[in-house]
C-alpha cells in the first residue's frame, strides 16, 4: 500500500478533498498534501485567474502531494464553468443534447478534457446525470441533458467517454438524482416524494448506464428520497449508497460526497458527525470545499472513529484503496507552459466550439421560425 496511507491519519486523509481561498497553494494545505492528509484539491473561480496561473497552481498541488493527487474542477459547461477564456466553454448541456448528435457531445467532452489535462487537472466533476424531471427545480434545469432518461443516458455516456478517453476522470452526479427537487441543496435539505417506480424508471437509469459504461466516479446527492430511505439524505444513507449503488447497480468506482458545507448538511449536522456518517454510508471521498478548519475537524472525526471501530476502519481502507487506484490510473500530467497557448483555446478547440455555437444558433432560429 502507498506510503501516504500507512498511518491512520494518512489512511483517513485519503478520504478528504478540500478547497481553499486564493490563487496560490496555501502553505497549510500544501503541508496536508505532503503528509497524505488530503487526496487532492478542488479549484473554483476564486482560485483561477488566467490560464498560466491555473497551470502553476495545478502543478503546485501535484508537486506538494505525497502521491499523485486528484486535481479537480467543475467544468460542466453553461453556468457551471470555472475556467475563463481562452478555455473552451460549452453551452448548457440541455442545448448540446438538443442537437441530438452523440458524436459531437463526445468530441466536445474530449476537447474539454484535453485542455483540462494540459493545465494539470485529472478529474472533472461532470457530467450531470440528473433528469430534469421537475420544472420547478432551482438548481439543475439546463445543466441536465434533458427531461427524458434516454437523452440523459445517451449524451451523458458520450460525455463520460469523451473525458476518459483523454485521461480525465469523469464524475456522474448527483446520485440517485437531483432533478426532481424543488429546493436547492446548497441552501437546505430537499425531499423527493416520488415512489420507487418513478425513481426506477426516471431518475436511476442514467446512473445505471454510467456505471455500466465505466465512469470513474459518482457524486452523492444531499437529498432525502423517502421511497428509498425515509430518515436521511442519500449522502448519509447506507441503504442508498451501499445497498443500491454498490450491491444492486454494481458501481465499482469512487463515490464522492457533494460538498459537506452545503446548507442541506451544514444546517443540520456538525462536520464531526457528517464526515464519519457519510463514509460509513458509502462515500469514499468527502468534499469540504472552503474551510480548512472543517477539513481538519473531519479528519480528526474519521481518525477517532477508525481507532475504536474495526468495521469503520475497514470501510476507510476500502475507500482509500479505490481512491489510490484512480490516482495511479490517471495521474496529473500538466503540459509545458510553452505549449499552453497551443493546447488551450487553440485552433482545434475553436473548431469544435464554433461548430457547436453555429448549430445551436441554427436550431434556435429554426424553432423561432416555426413558432412565428
Among residues 258, 259, 284, 291, the one annotated as catalytic is: 258
Is the residue at 332 inside a domain? yes
pLDDT surpassing 80 at residue 86: yes
Per-residue pLDDT of 4-63, as tens digits, reads 456 999 999 999 999 999 999 999 999 999 999 999 999 999 999 999 999 999 999 999
The greatest distance separating any two alpha carbons of the chain, rounded to the nearest whole angstrom, comes to 69
Q: Can you give the residue range of the structural domain that contains 317?
A: 14-354
Residues 6+ apart with CB under 8 A from 203: 130, 131, 133, 149, 176, 177, 179, 180, 194
Q: What is the CA radius of gyration of the chain?
A: 20
Q: What value does the mean pLDDT take over residues 280-298?
A: 98
Give the tens place of pLDDT for each residue, 216-264.
Answer: 999 999 999 999 999 899 999 999 999 999 999 999 999 999 999 998 8
Annotated catalytic residue within 101, 184, 186, 296: 186
Please indicate, yes or no, if residue 8 is contained in any of the structural domains: no
CA gap 301, 173 in Å, rounded: 26
Q: Sheet of 169-175: strands edge to edge?
A: 254-256, 217-220, 169-175, 123-124, 70-73, 40-43, 16-18, 286-288
**Number of domains the chain contains:** 1
Quick one: pLDDT at residue 189?
85
Q: For cell 416555426, what's the residue?
A: 370
Does the pLDDT of residue 124 top 70, yes or no? yes
Question: What is the pTM for the complete model shown?
Answer: 0.95
- pLDDT, position 174: 94
67 within domain boundaries: yes
Whether 372 is in a domain gets the answer: no
Q: Residue 6 has what pLDDT?
A: 62
CATH number of the domain that 302 lies in?
A: 3.20.20.300
**Does 307 fall in a domain?**
yes
186 pLDDT band, cuts 50/70/90, is: confident
Between residues 194 and 24, the one the model is more confident about: 24
| Residue 180 a catalytic site member | no
Does residue 119 register a pLDDT over 50?
yes
| 109 in any annotated domain | yes
Active site residue 258: yes
Mean pLDDT of the chain: 94
Q: Which helix (H) or strand (E) holds 218?
A: strand 217-220
Q: Which of 160, 113, 88 is nearest to 354 (CA)?
A: 88
The answer to whether residue 250 sits within a structural domain is yes
Q: How confident is the model at residue 163 (pLDDT cuts 50, 70, 90)?
A: very high
Kindly state the average pLDDT of the residues 319-337. Answer: 95
Instruction: Say if 72 falls within a structural domain.
Output: yes
Amino acid at each position: 500500500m502507498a506510503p501516504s496511507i500507512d498511518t491512520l491519519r494518512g489512511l483517513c486523509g485519503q478520504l478528504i478533498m478540500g478547497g481553499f481561498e486564493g490563487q496560490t497553494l496555501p502553505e497549510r494545505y500544501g503541508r496536508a498534501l505532503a503528509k497524505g492528509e488530503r487526496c487532492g484539491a478542488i479549484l473554483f473561480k476564486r482560485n483561477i485567474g488566467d490560464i498560466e496561473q491555473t497551470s502553476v497552481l495545478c502543478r503546485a498541488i501535484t508537486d506538494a502531494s505525497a502521491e499523485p493527487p486528484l486535481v479537480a474542477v467543475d467544468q460542466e459547461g453553461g453556468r457551471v464553468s470555472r475556467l475563463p477564456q481562452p478555455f473552451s466553454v460549452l453551452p448548457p448541456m440541455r442545448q448540446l443534447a438538443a442537437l441530438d448528435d452523440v458524436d459531437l457531445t463526445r468530441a466536445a467532452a474530449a476537447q474539454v478534457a484535453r485542455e483540462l489535462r494540459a493545465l494539470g487537472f485529472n478529474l472533472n466533476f461532470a457530467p450531470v446525470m440528473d433528469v430534469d424531471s421537475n420544472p420547478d427545480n432551482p438548481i439543475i434545469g439546463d445543466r441536465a441533458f434533458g427531461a427524458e432518461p434516454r437523452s440523459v443516458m445517451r449524451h451523458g455516456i458520450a460525455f463520460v467517454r469523451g473525458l476518459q478517453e483523454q485521461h480525465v476522470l469523469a464524475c456522474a452526479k448527483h446520485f440517485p438524482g437531483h432533478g426532481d427537487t424543488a429546493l436547492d441543496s446548497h441552501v437546505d435539505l430537499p425531499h423527493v416524494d416520488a415512489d420507487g417506480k418513478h425513481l426506477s424508471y426516471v431518475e436511476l437509469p442514467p446512473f445505471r448506464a454510467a456505471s455500466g459504461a465505466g465512469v470513474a466516479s459518482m457524486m452523492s446527492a444531499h437529498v432525502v428520497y423517502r421511497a428509498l430511505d425515509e430518515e436521511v439524505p442519500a449522502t448519509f444513507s447506507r441503504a442508498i449508497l451501499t445497498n443500491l449503488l454498490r450491491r444492486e447497480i454494481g458501481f465499482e468506482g469512487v463515490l464522492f460526497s457533494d460538498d459537506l458545507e452545503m446548507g442541506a448538511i451544514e444546517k443540520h449536522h456538525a462536520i464531526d458527525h457528517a464526515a464519519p456518517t457519510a463514509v460509513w454510508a458509502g462515500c469514499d471521498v468527502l468534499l469540504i470545499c472552503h474551510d480548512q478548519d472543517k477539513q481538519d475537524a473531519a479528519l480528526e472525526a474519521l481518525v477517532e472513529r477508525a481507532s475504536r471501530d474495526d468495521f469503520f476502519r475497514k470501510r476507510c481502507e476500502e475507500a482509500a484503496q479505490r481512491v489510490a487506484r484512480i490516482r495511479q490510473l490517471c495521474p496529473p500530467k500538466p503540459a509545458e507552459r510553452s505549449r499552453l497557448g497551443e493546447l488551450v483555446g487553440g485552433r482545434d478547440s475553436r473548431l469544435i466550439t464554433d461548430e457547436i455555437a453555429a448549430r445551436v444558433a441554427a436550431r434556435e432560429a429554426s424553432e423561432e421560425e416555426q413558432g412565428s
